[in-house]
Amino acid sequence: MRRSTFLGLAVAPLLTAGTAVAGTTNWPDVADPPRSKVEWVAREARVNGLPSQIERFESELSADEMIEFYRTRWSRSSLGAPRENKANGWHSLSTLHGSFQVAVQVRPRSPQGSEGLISIANFGDVKRDFIPSGWPRWHDLQVTQVTESVDGPMRSHMIAMVSSESFEMNKRRWRDEWRRRGFQLTHEQVTPGPSGARTWLASFDKPPQSLDVTMAWRASDRRTFISANLLSPVEGDAR
């Protein structure tokens, strides 16, 4: 689990789901997408405090065919027709099953077919305080998503954030803050991109903890987007 990479597909709040980090839950069955390859993204996770399971799929079917497959199955729900939404190239569909929300999010895949995420969210077991205690806070920094998961002896907090401060300001204060906490900077790389975009990748170590940070500046947005993955032992982890 060390040096975990960030998910290639964005896990929107709509798509929280599944087996909780702690406790046992009877999750509703969700039909696998037809003519698809399916793999786990997270079997034990909490996304913004919600116990979650998330699966990723690649299918021979088009995005429209995939949505129609689940629309037909879920239209028989006693809770009414599923909710649909389209945004940023994604087509999403969600329905309720007791205290659970079941959702599919899909988009076209090149050169053909589709890819997406399937999830179930347990709204009956919400953890309100889901940001790790002691996490750096600045007035311009907004935490947009926290994904907590356990893999063997290690706990991961993957945290997505956005800041209105500059790229250089964020790079300097993140480097300084974690060094102040006793972490050693073991790797960093700055990569320039088109139209003034820049990316900073950094790794920090303070055994048995480690931290990976990905920071991207988009000139068009005038904002800095930050993702961090903090790994700690399950017993006695820093939360």
The reply to whether omega before 194 is within 30° of 0 (cis) is: no
Q: Global pTM?
A: 0.74
CA distances from 60 to 16, 57, 63, 89, 111 (A): 25, 10, 9, 18, 10
For residue range 141-179, what is the model confidence (pLDDT) as tens digits? 999 999 998 888 889 999 999 999 999 999 999 999 999
- At 183, the pLDDT band (50, 70, 90 cuts) reads very high
CB-based contact 5:40 (threshold 8 Å): no
Query: CA dihedral defined by 7, 13, 14, 17, rounded to 10 degrees?
Result: 70
Strand partners, 51: 46
Domain spanning 141-233, CATH class:
alpha beta
For residue range 124-141, what is the model confidence (pLDDT) as tens digits? 888 888 999 899 999 999
For residue range 69-84, what is the model confidence (pLDDT) as tens digits? 999 989 877 666 799 9
Domain boundaries, the chain: 13-122, 141-233
Alpha helix positions (H), the chain: 63-74, 167-180
Q: What percent of the chain shows pLDDT beyond 70?
A: 86
CATH number of 13-122: 3.30.310
What is the predicted pLDDT for the residue at 13? 38
